Amino acid sequence: MRQSLPIARHFAVPLDAFLNAYLFSMKKHLLFLLLCCLAVALHAQENKRLAPAKLKTLEGKTLDAQEIPQEGKITVISFWATWCSPCKKELDAILDYYDEWKVKYNMELVAISVDDSRTAAKVPATVAQKKWPYRILHDFNKEFQITANVAQIPYTLVIDSKGYIVYEHTGYSPGDELELEELLKELRR
């Protein structure tokens, strides 16, 4: 015997038909809400640029974080510290590809040290010992780390050739540099 749901005194709708119509309607509404949220998130991400923050070069010159990206060039920003083994492994792994990537993808890597006053003196020696060709900047007062919302390191940002942040990644596992290259390929298209 088929169950019915009384809708009006003289009209009855089979329960399964009612439920199917109700679920279909809910799915459409949920899909619409999901697409709206996705569109808002993509729009917000599209327009995200670096916030102002003071940094220093190894020579002591002050620079604003907004000056890091160069028009027409992809910029990879890597937050690191001398005491962070995964950070140094990531920068070493990228070093194997860096010369090729600079030419092939018109990119630059900028390594931002977040070492505090106790370990900051080790930065130039670490860079020299590792033979890193990257532009090295220091975030002495953690201003850039805070404005970029960096909770832990290693932390990588990729800025497209128009100056927009298009990728953020926390941590490092061997092979992450290959994923980074895939993103660089996509950005050069």
Return the pLDDT at 20: 73
Of residues 46 and 73, more confidence is placed in 73
The mean pLDDT value for 115-131 works out to 96
Q: Distance between CA 135 and CA 142 in Å, rounded?
A: 18
Which tens digit of pLDDT belongs to each residue from 143-170? Answer: 999 999 999 999 999 999 999 999 999 9
What is the C-alpha radius of gyration for the chain, rounded to an integer number of angstroms? Answer: 25
Token digits of residue 133: 């060709």
Return the pLDDT at 109: 98
| Full 3-state SS string of 111-146 | EEECCCCCCCCHHHHHHHHHCCCCEEEECCCCHHHH
Cβ atoms 105, 185 nearer than 8 A: yes
Backbone angles phi, psi at 96, to 5 degrees: -60, -25
DSSP 51: P
Q: Distance between CA 144 and CA 17 in Å, rounded?
A: 58
Of residues 12 and 77, more confidence is placed in 77
Of residues 153 and 5, more confidence is placed in 153
Token digits of residue 182: 């895939």
Q: Distance between CA 139 and CA 119 in Å, rounded?
A: 12
Return the pLDDT at 21: 72
Cβ atoms 164, 46 nearer than 8 A: yes
**How are beta strands 155-159 and 4-8 bridged, if at all?**
unpaired
Check whether 43 has a pLDDT greater than 50: no
Check whether 142 has a pLDDT greater than 50: yes
**How are beta strands 107-113 and 135-138 bridged, if at all?**
parallel
Residue 15's pLDDT band (cuts 50, 70, 90): low
Return the pLDDT at 189: 81
Return the pLDDT at 76: 98
Check whether 86 has a pLDDT greater than 70: yes
Give CATH superfamily name and number for 54-188. Answer: Glutaredoxin (3.40.30.10)
The mean pLDDT value for 99-104 works out to 96
The mean pLDDT value for 68-89 works out to 96
Q: Where are the domains of the chain?
A: 4-46, 54-188
Q: What is the value of pTM for the model shown?
A: 0.74
Residue 177's pLDDT band (cuts 50, 70, 90): very high
Cβ atoms 138, 61 nearer than 8 A: no
Which tens digit of pLDDT belongs to each residue from 17-28? Answer: 666 777 676 666
**How are beta strands 74-80 and 107-113 bridged, if at all?**
parallel
